[in-house]
Amino acid sequence: MKARIDDNLVTFSLDSSGESLHKRGFKEAVNKAPMRETLAALFLREAGYTGTEPVLDPMCGSGTFPIEAAEIAMGLAPGRARSFAFENLASFDAAAWETLRSSVAPRSTDQHFYGSDRDQGAIAMSTRNADAAGVSEHTNFTCTSISDLKRPEGPAGLVIINPPYGARIGNKKPLFALHAALGTTLKTEFRGWRVAIITTEASLAIATGLTFSAGPYVPHGGLKVRLYQSGPL
């Protein structure tokens, strides 16, 4: 409980969550620029993802997008593996909470969720995180660079990518070449798939050569990012 006194106004605030909500309770391994799970879920929904298509992230880092997409498809409640600060309140109704928790029914899915990254460490992290989240039966992680990326067998789905931005990691110039290479791979390998890219700069999305519509700005790690999404390629 916090009390803030401003002149003759006292504001009490009570933290009902405890740990931040993006901490789902299973992810131990994170890379240097992870996307928060809450933001990943938001961008998947903004891209129209409902759990009925395969999802692929070719720069998957710690695996946030494939794991979050698998959880959506499998009907797994976010935060199922953690506790919340409201459970310590005097008025907490443990029976009502248990009823609510057990009302979330997992679904079976025949979809697959793919992650790749050029960094072997990222792939090891993603594999551990998918195991801990209980979704590894439906995920597949491989160490592959963008230029060697191949379309997975099966139906078309959603490619969702959170590439490096340059503001935090390295500088921007090589990023234009990276985005151009990404666009070439997507156009040649991923016919019929939709593409969603989260980035800080319209010019980086444009460098892919794909046609996108841009969503609203969202704060992320001190920056403002947007989702750029295409129709089926």
- Residue nearer to ligand SAM on the CB measure, 152 or 163: 163
First to last CA, the chain: 51
Least separation in angstroms between CB 204 and ligand SAM: 12
Q: Provide the b/e sequence for 179-193 (b: ≥16 CB within 10 Å).
A: bebbbebbeeebeeb
Q: Is 199 in the site for ligand SAM (CB under 6 A)?
A: no
Q: Is 122 in the site for ligand SAM (CB under 6 A)?
A: yes
- Residue nearer to ligand SAM on the CB measure, 84 or 215: 215
Q: Is 189 in the site for ligand SAM (CB under 6 A)?
A: no
Residue 227 backbone class (left: φ over 0; alpha: ψ -120 to 50; beta: rest): beta
- Residue nearer to ligand SAM on the CB measure, 31 or 109: 31
Least separation in angstroms between CB 51 and ligand SAM: 19
Q: Binders of ligand SAM among 135-164, rule CB under 6 A?
A: 145-146, 162-164
Distances (CA, A) of 146 to 161, 178, 183: 11, 8, 10
Tell me the CB-side half-sphere exposure of residue 113, using CA atoms within 13 A.
Answer: 27
- Residue nearer to ligand SAM on the CB measure, 82 or 118: 118
Least separation in angstroms between CB 4 and ligand SAM: 34
Give the DSSP H or E segment for 57.
strand 55-57
Amino acid at 59: M
CA angle, corner 66, sides to 193 and 110, nearest 5? 75
Least separation in angstroms between CB 80 and ligand SAM: 20
Enumerate binding residues for ligand SAM (CB under 6 A).
31, 33-35, 58-62, 64-65, 117-119, 122, 145-146, 162-164, 178
